[in-house]
């Protein structure tokens, strides 16, 4: 039997896009003949992954996994919404969320981490691509934890527990009643899903975002005295912060109070002070430019006709 080296496995993976274990197995079956191994993987349908890797994947699922005082949310993309209803793909997203909880939010570290199905998470994704026939990718991940309290969560448009189109995590530090705190965390997470805050408070806003808002306010009031513009901009930024900062937003469950006020009021039921320390909101496909295909033109092109 030929000596199968790591370099041979790596070369075959680069040529086919198949999983590490599949490549190693194919090399063993072909006694180390890489070309024969390529043909074998093609026959098994496992070399499709590489060909599909360049296609836009803007659909898929957001997955959440919670354990104790820690939770992870991941976004795994596919090319079509149809794949999100595939049991195999749903299992892949759950697997990745489990791994992220232990590994952290670095995508490269998650991809390199061992998967329960064997090989690495990257191998599991390549295998899923070959099985389903669509490009898939882990886009991002986030992990939140608390020292004492709960990480509340909410999944919008859930198609299975912990899987949906929007996933939110909210970290609440408190020594109070954990059941009450978990219920509150879910309510706040629902608010985050609906209100899309940009930061926890004004101090957390991206300076570039603040600068852009200031420039817009100044431009709108061009021609007025500089001291007047300065006051208008200052007032406008405060108003903007109330609209986009979580603690200052009007609570969707009670428009008469802010989120910060709602948390303060909830301390009586929880039985201890509550501090909202962080949140994460993942909306499927946000920021990805989807390719809009002209179906008629595509058919005409394949038929060799001019549009």
Report the CATH number at residue 102: 3.30.479.20
Q: How confident is the model at residue 54 (pLDDT cuts 50, 70, 90)?
A: very low
Which three-class secondary structure string do you get for the chain?
CCCCCHHHHHHHHHHHCCCHHHHHHHHHHCCCCHHHHHHHHHHCCCCHHHHHCCCCCCEEEEEEEEECCEEEEEEEEECCHHHHHCHHHHHHHHHHHHHHHHHCCCHHHHHHCECCCCCEHHHHHHHHHHHHCCCEEEEEEEEEECCCEEEEEEEECCCECCEECEEEEEEEECCCCHHHHHHHHHHHHHHHHHHCCCECCHHHCCHHHHHHHHHHHHHHCCCCCHHHHHHHHHHHHHHHHHHHEHHHCECCCCCCCEHHHHHHHHHHHHCCCCEEEEEEEEECCCCCCCCCCCHHHHHHHHCCCCC
Dump pLDDT digits (tens) for 77-129: 998 888 889 999 999 999 999 999 999 999 999 999 999 878 899 999 998 98
Checking if the pLDDT of 290 tops 70, the result is: no
Q: Is 304 within a domain?
A: no
- Does 296 map to a domain? no
155 and 77 within one domain? yes
* 172-213 residue pLDDT tens: 999 999 999 999 999 999 999 999 999 999 999 999 989 988
36 in the same domain as 19:
yes
**Number of folded domains in the chain?**
3
Q: Within a domain: residue 306?
A: no
Q: Are residues 120 and 15 in the same domain?
A: no
Average pLDDT over residues 212-223: 88
Query: Residue 44 is part of a domain; what is its CATH number?
Result: 1.10.8.10
């Amino acid at each position: 039997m030929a000596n199968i080296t790591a370099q041979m496995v790596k070369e075959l993976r680069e040529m086919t896009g198949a999983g590490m274990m599949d490549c190693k197995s194919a090399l063993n079956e072909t006694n180390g003949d890489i070309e024969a191994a390529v043909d074998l993987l093609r026959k098994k349908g496992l070399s499709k992954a590489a060909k599909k890797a360049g296609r836009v994947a803007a659909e898929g699922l957001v997955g959440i996994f919670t354990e104790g005082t820690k939770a992870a949310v991941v976004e795994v993309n596919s090319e079509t919404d149809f794949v999100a209803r595939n049991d195999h793909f749903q299992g892949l997203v759950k697997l990745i969320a489990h791994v992220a909880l232990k590994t952290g939010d670095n995508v490269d570290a998650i991809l390199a981490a061992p998967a329960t199905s064997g090989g690495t998470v990257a191998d599991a994704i390549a295998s899923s691509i070959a099985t389903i026939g669509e490009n898939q990718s882990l886009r991002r991940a986030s992990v939140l934890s608390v020292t004492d309290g709960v990480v509340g969560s909410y999944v919008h448009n859930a198609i299975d527990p912990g899987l949906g189109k929007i996933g939110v995590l909210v970290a609440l530090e408190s020594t109070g009643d954990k059941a009450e705190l978990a219920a509150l965390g879910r309510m706040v997470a629902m608010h985050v899903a609906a209100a899309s805050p940009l930061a926890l408070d004004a101090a957390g806003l991206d300076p570039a975002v603040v600068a852009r808002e200031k420039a817009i306010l100044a431009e709108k009031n061009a021609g007025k005295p500089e001291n007047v513009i300065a006051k208008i901009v200052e007032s406008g930024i405060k108003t903007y912060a109330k609209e986009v900062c979580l603690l200052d937003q009007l609570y969707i469950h009670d428009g008469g109070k802010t989120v910060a006020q709602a948390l303060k009021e909830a301390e009586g039921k929880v039985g201890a002070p509550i501090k909202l320390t962080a949140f994460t909101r993942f909306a499927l496909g946000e920021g990805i430019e989807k390719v809009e295909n002209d179906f008629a033109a595509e058919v005409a092109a394949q038929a060799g006709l001019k549009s």
